[in-house]
C-alpha cells in the first residue's frame, strides 16, 4: 500500500512540474508579445515626434501650425506613450511594472523568468 501512495505522490509531482513548465512557457511567450508591443510603441512615438518636428521646421509640408499646436501635439504623443507603457510593460506573472530595462530576463518583483 505504501508503494501505491508514493506512486500517487510521484504522479502528482510530475503533473505539477508539467503545469509549471506550461506556465513558464506561457509567461515567456506573453513577455515576448509585450516586448514587441513596447518596441512598436517606442518606434511609433519617435516617428511621430520626428514628424512633428519636421512639420514645425518645414511648414510647407502640411501647412503652417502654431508653435503651441506642435508643442501640444508632442506632449500628447509623449503622454500616450507613457500611458501605453504603463499598461503594457508589466510582468505577465505578477502584473508589476517592469521598469526601464527592455531586455529584462527576470522580473525583479516575483523572480519569474521572462526570456
Q: Which pLDDT tens digit goes with each residue over 1-12? A: 456 656 655 555
Tens of pLDDT along 19-48?
566 588 999 999 999 999 999 999 999 999
List pLDDT tens digits, range 64-74: 778 888 899 99
Confidence at residue 5, expressed as pLDDT on a 0 to 100 scale: 58
Q: What is the pLDDT of residue 62?
A: 74
Q: How many domains does the chain have?
A: 1
Q: Is residue 65 a part of any domain in this protein?
A: yes
Residue the block writes with cell 509623449? 78
Q: What is the pLDDT of residue 67?
A: 82
Q: Let me know if residue 51 belongs to a domain.
A: yes
Distance CA 93, CA 109 (A): 10
Parent domain of 48? 26-88
Q: Is residue 84 part of a domain?
A: yes
pLDDT, position 114: 92
For residue 17, tell me if it sits in a domain.
no
Domain presence at residue 61: yes
> Three cell numbers at 75?
506632449
Amino acid at each position: 500500500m505504501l508503494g501505491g501512495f508514493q506512486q500517487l505522490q510521484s504522479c502528482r509531482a510530475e503533473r505539477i512540474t508539467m503545469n509549471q513548465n506550461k506556465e513558464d512557457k506561457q509567461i515567456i511567450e506573453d513577455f515576448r508579445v509585450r516586448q514587441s508591443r513596447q518596441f512598436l510603441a517606442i518606434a511609433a512615438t519617435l516617428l511621430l515626434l520626428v514628424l512633428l518636428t519636421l512639420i514645425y521646421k518645414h511648414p510647407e509640408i502640411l501647412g503652417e501650425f502654431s508653435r503651441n499646436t506642435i508643442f501640444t501635439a508632442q506632449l500628447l504623443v509623449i503622454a500616450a506613450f507613457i500611458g501605453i507603457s504603463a499598461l503594457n510593460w508589466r510582468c505577465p506573472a505578477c502584473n508589476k511594472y517592469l521598469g526601464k530595462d527592455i531586455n529584462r530576463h527576470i522580473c525583479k518583483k516575483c523572480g519569474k523568468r521572462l526570456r
